[in-house]
Structure 1
Amino acid sequence: MEQAGSPERDLKRLVVPDIGRLLETGDPWEPYQLRDSHGARVEPVATYFKDLLAAGSSASTLRSYGMDLLRWWRFLWAVGGVEWDRAVREDARDFMLWMQLADKPKREHWRRRGKAQPDIPSPRSESRRLPPGAANPVTGKPSVGPKYAASTRAHCETVLRTFYAFHLDRNTGSLLVNPFPLDRSRRAARAHAHHNPEHEHRLERTGRYRPKVPERIPRRIPDEQYTQVFAGLRSDRDRALLAFWVASGARAEELLTARQSDAVVGQQTIGVTRKGTRSYQELPVSPDAFVWLRLYQEGAWRQGVPRGRNQPLWWTLRRPWRPLNYAAARAMFNRTNETLGSNWTLHDLRHTASYRMANDPEMSLAYVQHILAHRYLTTTQKYLTPSRDEVIAAGIAHHTRQEQRRNTPQASPSAPAYNQSALDVLFGRRLG
């Protein structure tokens, strides 16, 4: 067995096996379980998840944390079966270095398993195939690259550091040190020791192996491309969904969990349960969204979709009727993306609504903050940043004006005339 922190560890040839899994149980008392290669529950992770639930974390948070912990457990198994409570800082260093330089594992889609794939792709798919990480020609957004993104690595480092800090407080097992330490320059000093009260607080306690994450500017769908996306939808349900997302600014999952009683036509509002606080909030919606909703409901009820105030608002289009979940909604939106050759996401619809409200001169930014459920006003102010298309258009207009000035002949400036009264005073002439 290879020793932990061995300098002979060859990360370039390291193969991390796709063993173990994060199991969704459907039990609200334990929504997710981390299972090892033998199918047994990983108890340290189960204890950590229980503490997160008690602190008010949602099931989606547990899933996000669980994927990072599963990646770490697989790495420990791959380097020689290092026990989680025997891991040292060299193991954490190698893990973060492996995430930075290694390619992400390629997993086959479950629909394609066991099926023969054509050797020659269709001309349509070949024309739209882009190298990983390349910018989409329609949206300008980069596609998913072969490496782990800096945000993924930063999130993973934070989760593992807090996981080990939790077990250090509990004196679990033989754990003595946190393999994911704080940065050397910030470990001993008090956070915000020299903070200027006129400025915002910055995150000063960061991990030693945490990467620098560039600040991302939210991307909105331009109006002309939004029209194309809307026209590419196949059903009244999809059009109603898109109209509600762009009009309300709600997150995708928040709108999908709404009930039929939450859509109040008379007040022109939709009620959603917020992601973080789990509080109920009514959001204003445009009239055309309710028009598309009524068209969808009339057709769905005639086909036998369950009807009732406590029934879900959004359903699948085929029998057996099931409430529409996030995966199905994303697949619907991705089909439209394939038709247009774009790579917009469902969250870009929330960004689009945010840009439209924030740039309305007659709407207070404080109202926009409340509608979007932002904790800080600085988060809402990001939507005042000009979009990519606006910046490019302004730059092109600038170069056009510069070219016009260079091509326009300029008249030579005439010499300035002297002031006669000033000359009389200067030379002592008598003023008549």
Structure 2
Amino acid sequence: MPDEQGPGRDLKSFVLPEIGQLLETEDPWEPVQLLDAFGRPIEPAAVYFKDLMAADSSVLTPRSYGMDLLRWWRYLWAFGIEWDRATREDARDFMLWMKLADKPVRVHWRHRGKDPAEIPRPSRPRRPAPGTPNPVTGKPTVGRKYAPKTRAHCETVLRSFYDFHLDRNSGSLLVNPFPLVRGRRSARANAHHNPENEYAKQRTGLYRPKIPQQVPRRIPEDKFTEVFAGLRSHRDRALLAFWVATGARAEELLTATQGGAIVGQQTIGVTRKGTREYQELPATPDAFVWLRLYQEESWKKGVPRGRQQPLWWTLRRPWRPLEYDAARMMFSRANELLGANWTLHDLRHTATFLMLDDPNMPPVYVQHILGHKQLSTLQIYNRPGRDDVIAAGLAHHARVEQQRRTQPVRQDLEYNPQSLNVLFGGGV
């Protein structure tokens, strides 16, 4: 094993090896498997995933946690460290590498083993530099380094993973290499919290980064119209209309069935992400118009029909239920026409702003429609956004300038000519 700081551990030039994989299976008992370089399952990760599933976590949770575990295991493999022999210095170097190093650039499987000069470059419009604000939306583009949210999520997953195995006395593990902050290592965070008081803002992990709090962004009406006009099918138009009308999460709307879209009641049923409960959400008449156009078109092509059949399908054979990644790519293609970088989750923010802007819409109803546990989660929408702040500042300067031009000049505030002659020695 390399030394602590690692005189032999060159983090500046370290590149994470692409060995091992996170395999998604069709087995509901084991939705994902973390495999080593030889395709063998990693038992500590498999036990941890099973515990997550038993705790009634979403099926997406093992995949999300598995990506962080795969990154950590690749780091351990690169330096020849056993997972249960990792020290605090190993965890420190790993989090430092995630903070300062560039993210690995994934090479497409068609171009692996080729000379970079031989790889054809797609003819796409010029995009902003990584990490710079998008000229249309103002949102920063994806940077070359790991985002603070990604690093914070990774630190939390690895700390909980080692806590789990410490409780089980797995292997030769003695301490958690990802400790809590100093002065609070003997108990979990907020262990003695008074439920009547608000939670204090504090970092739970010693290597957990600070996450800047971002204000949700809405898509302006004129820009949404341009994105909507760039869509290629009635299915995509119906999807966007429902997303911005219901405020449902992107993956939640994709769980709707054909029988769950009730035109007479103007509602659509979705399965909530966290609770997995079925909930009917109100939608606009326009959304159902686009849905009907899509259904008439798809049924003529042979898309499966039935009340229990999925509502959203692929546009080409073989017919498959539409998945999140395909829906995200559809929205990204529409964004590219404008040079924007809005996401599907921005449609949820847009729907929330539209509902909260209505004075006759009680916030508690908005909370229920969004599926939030607490009403306090809507407080982030009370903070002014970037566009609102800039517009208000420009309006202020315009009012001041207009007032300066229209206000008459007071003669009693002018300088006395005789005083100026004395001050400057005459000649004025």
Q: TM > 0.5 between the two? A: yes
* SS of residue paired to 2:270: strand
TM-score (norm 2): 0.91
Q: Measure, in 2, the Cα distance between the counterparts of 1:36 and 1:50.
A: 18
Tell me, yes or no, if structure 1 residue 37 matches structure 2 residue 37: yes
What is the aligned partner in structure 2 of residue 242 from structure 1? 240
* SS of residue paired to 1:239: helix
What is the aligned partner in structure 2 of residue 423 from structure 1? none
| Percentage identity across paired residues of the two chains | 71
Tell me, yes or no, if structure 1 residue 75 matches structure 2 residue 65: no
Say if 1:15 and 1:78, in contact at 8 Å, map to a contact too: no
* SS of residue paired to 1:26: coil
Change in CA separation of 1:171 and 1:378 when aligned onto 2, cut-off 3 Å: same
Tell me, yes or no, if structure 1 residue 345 matches structure 2 residue 343: yes
Say if 2:15 and 2:104, in contact at 8 Å, map to a contact too: no
Counterpart of 1:86, as a letter, is: R
User: Offset at 1:400?
Assistant: 1.0
What is the aligned partner in structure 2 of residue 420 from structure 1? none
Say if 1:355 and 1:384, in contact at 8 Å, map to a contact too: no
For structure 1, the 5+ residue unaligned runs are: 415-432
User: Offset at 1:277?
Assistant: 0.4
Say if 1:132 and 1:143, in contact at 8 Å, map to a contact too: yes
What is the aligned partner in structure 2 of residue 299 from structure 1? 297
1:125-204 to 2 correspondences below 5 Å: 125-126=124-125, 128-188=126-186, 199-202=197-200, 204=202
Q: Measure, in 2, the Cα distance between the counterparts of 1:30 and 1:38.
A: 19
What is the aligned partner in structure 1 of residue 421 from structure 2? none
User: Offset at 1:187?
Assistant: 2.5
Say if 1:358 and 1:384, in contact at 8 Å, map to a contact too: no
Which stretch of structure 1 is more off in the superposition, 2-11 or 301-310? 2-11
Say if 2:189 and 2:204, in contact at 8 Å, map to a contact too: no
For structure 2, the 5+ residue unaligned runs are: 413-428
What is the aligned partner in structure 2 of residue 329 from structure 1? 327
Q: Measure, in 2, the Cα distance between the counterparts of 1:393 and 1:204.
A: 34
User: Offset at 1:284?
Assistant: 0.5
Say if 1:192 and 1:204, in contact at 8 Å, map to a contact too: no
Counterpart of 2:120, as a letter, is: P
Q: Measure, in 2, the Cα distance between the counterparts of 1:14 and 1:110.
A: 22
Tell me, yes or no, if structure 1 residue 266 matches structure 2 residue 264: yes
Say if 1:186 and 1:205, in contact at 8 Å, map to a contact too: no
Say if 2:252 and 2:270, in contact at 8 Å, map to a contact too: yes
What is the aligned partner in structure 1 of residue 254 from structure 2? 256
* SS of residue paired to 1:58: coil
* SS of residue paired to 2:337: helix
Give aligned pairs, total.
Answer: 410
Q: Measure, in 1, the Cα distance between the counterparts of 2:245 and 2:64.
A: 28
Counterpart of 1:258, as a letter, is: A
Which stretch of structure 1 is more off in the superposition, 187-196 or 64-73? 187-196
Q: Measure, in 1, the Cα distance between the counterparts of 2:168 and 2:225.
A: 55
Tell me, yes or no, if structure 1 residue 46 matches structure 2 residue 50: no
1:96-111 to 2 correspondences below 5 Å: 96-110=95-109
Q: Measure, in 1, the Cα distance between the counterparts of 2:37 and 2:237.
A: 44
Q: Measure, in 1, the Cα distance between the counterparts of 2:91 and 2:106.
A: 25
1:311-390 to 2 correspondences below 5 Å: 311-390=309-388
What is the aligned partner in structure 2 of residue 56 from structure 1? 56
Highest CA radius of gyration, 1 or 2? 1
Counterpart of 2:283, as a letter, is: V
Counterpart of 1:293, as a letter, is: L
Tell me, yes or no, if structure 1 residue 85 matches structure 2 residue 87: no
Q: Measure, in 1, the Cα distance between the counterparts of 2:187 and 2:19.
A: 41
Tell me, yes or no, if structure 1 residue 221 matches structure 2 residue 215: no
What is the aligned partner in structure 2 of residue 118 from structure 1? 120
Counterpart of 2:52, as a letter, is: L
Counterpart of 1:35, as a letter, is: L
Q: Measure, in 2, the Cα distance between the counterparts of 1:193 and 1:71.
A: 30
The CA deviation string for residues 331-385 of structure 1, in whole angstroms up to 9 with x for no partner, is 1111111111111111111111111112211100000000001112121222232
Say if 1:4 and 1:82, in contact at 8 Å, map to a contact too: no
Say if 1:5 and 1:88, in contact at 8 Å, map to a contact too: no
Q: Measure, in 1, the Cα distance between the counterparts of 2:192 and 2:275.
A: 32
TM-score (norm 1): 0.90
User: Offset at 1:38?
Assistant: 1.2
* SS of residue paired to 1:308: coil
Counterpart of 2:29, as a letter, is: W
Say if 1:219 and 1:348, in contact at 8 Å, map to a contact too: yes
Say if 1:186 and 1:204, in contact at 8 Å, map to a contact too: no
What do you get for the CA RMSD once the two structures are aligned? 2.2
